[in-house]
Each structure stands twice: as structure tokens, then as C-alpha cells.
Structure 1
Amino acid sequence: MEIRMEIFLIIAGAALVTFIPRVLPLMLLSRINIPEWGMRWLNYVPIAVMAALVAEELFIQDGNLSISSNKAELLAALPAFFVAVKTRSLLGTVITGIISLMVLRYFF
């Protein structure tokens, strides 16, 4: 098996482009003392990202706001939301959402 230099450079470049944005902020922020208000603010970033991803999946259809086409997903999101609020467990929330959607799709 022959390894061409172009393929090797593409793989190495992709690895570098993936590695730098993850490691550079970690290296810089580990040396900086972030104030308490900044740490509280950063705690909400994963929640905001997850909410944006879920909301887009539930409410956007073909680039337009559409609530009527995703009825099973909306119903499955309700128990998942309550588990998320009550337990604050990502694993429990995901499992609840998957099981809820499976049950709804089985019966409807």
C-alpha cells in the first residue's frame, strides 16, 4: 500500500485544524484566573448550545418555523424536559427522550 504525500498532508492538516481550536483555549484559560461571575456564565454555555440544537430540530422544518409537522418529537420532548429540569442528568434526559419517542412512534 502506497501512501501519497498529498493524502498524508490532508490528514495532518485536518488533525491540526481539529486540534488547535480545542487545545489552544484550554492552554490559555488554564493560566488565567477567571472571576466568579465568568465561571457562572460559562456554566450556562452547554445548556444554551443544547437548547439551541433541540429547538432547531423541533421547530424548524425546511428553513421555516413549523410546529405542526413534528408532533411526536414535541410530545417526546416534554418528558425529557421534565427529567432534565428535575435531575439535571444529560444521560437520563437523553434516555427519557429516546424511550418517549420510541413509544410514541410505536403507537402512532
Structure 2
Amino acid sequence: MSDWALWGLFLAVGIGTFVMRLSFVELHGRWRMPPLLSRALAYVPASVLAALVLPAVVYPNGQGAFVLANPQIPAALLAAWVAWKTRSTVLTLAVGMAALWVGKYLLG
């Protein structure tokens, strides 16, 4: 690929990215989102967080198999329970990390 073709590709991708982002800013006040879509989008952050965290908890260190001696699973379950009961982020992090450290100490 020549230098000019590469620079043209960079320019096209940059313009395309700018247009996509600008379209959301420009259409924000002009387009009304349907209520069903608005309610569905409220769950996107929680589902993305679960999709990122769950594989790291269940398959630590990139393992391909489920390991019963994994201290992350009970620590995550305990942290989820604390989060559900208290709604406190700091307490959830503290209890989850303490449970993980205790589990690693007992198993390791």
C-alpha cells in the first residue's frame, strides 16, 4: 500500500468517526427515543460490567476450565450479596477483597 493510500485511509476513517460522533450530538434534541428503548438502555451499563467481570472471576488467569478451588467465586458471591443488601460501594469492595484474601490464604 502506498503512502498516499495509507494517508487517504487514515483521513477517511477519521472523517467517518467524526461524522458518527457528531450525528449523536446533532440529533440529540431533534429525535425522541421511544420509551421501550429508553428503558432497555438503562440496563446496558450493568450488563456490560457483568460481561467484563464474570469471565475474570470464573476463569482466572485465562484458564479454559472451571476450577472449584477458585477463591474468587465465593468472594464475588459474598460481595454481590453485600452490594445487594447495603448498596454501599466501599463496603462491597472491602468485603469482597477481604473475602478474596482470606480465601487465597486458606487455599494457598
What TM-score comes out, normalization by structure 1 length?
Answer: 0.58
What residue is the counterpart of 2:25 in the other structure? 27
What residue is the counterpart of 2:85 in the other structure? 86
Residues 44-55 of structure 1 correspond to what in structure 2 (within 5 A)? 44-55=43-54
Q: Which runs of 5+ in 2 are unaligned?
A: 1-13
- Give percent identity, aligned residues only: 32
Contact 2:58–2:72 (CA under 8 A) maintained in structure 1: no
CA distance in 2, matches of 1:24, 1:101: 44
Shift, 1:67, TM fit: 3.0
What residue is the counterpart of 2:36 in the other structure? 37
Cα RMSD over matched residues? 3.5
CA distance in 2, matches of 1:26, 1:98: 39
Aligned in 2, Cα 1:27/1:56: closer, same or farther, shift over 3 Å? same
- Where 2:57 maps in the other structure, the secondary structure is helix
CA distance in 1, matches of 2:46, 2:22: 23
- Where 1:65 maps in the other structure, the secondary structure is coil
Shift, 1:90, TM fit: 4.6
**Is the deviation greater in 39-48 or in 53-62?**
53-62
Larger radius of gyration: 2
Contact 1:58–1:67 (CA under 8 A) maintained in structure 2: no
What residue is the counterpart of 1:8 in the other structure? none
Hey, which bits of structure 1, 4+ residues long, moved more than 6 A? none
CA distance in 1, matches of 2:89, 2:23: 24
Which residue identity does 2:77 align to in structure 1? L
CA distance in 2, matches of 1:52, 1:88: 20
| Alignment of 1:77 onto 2:64 | no
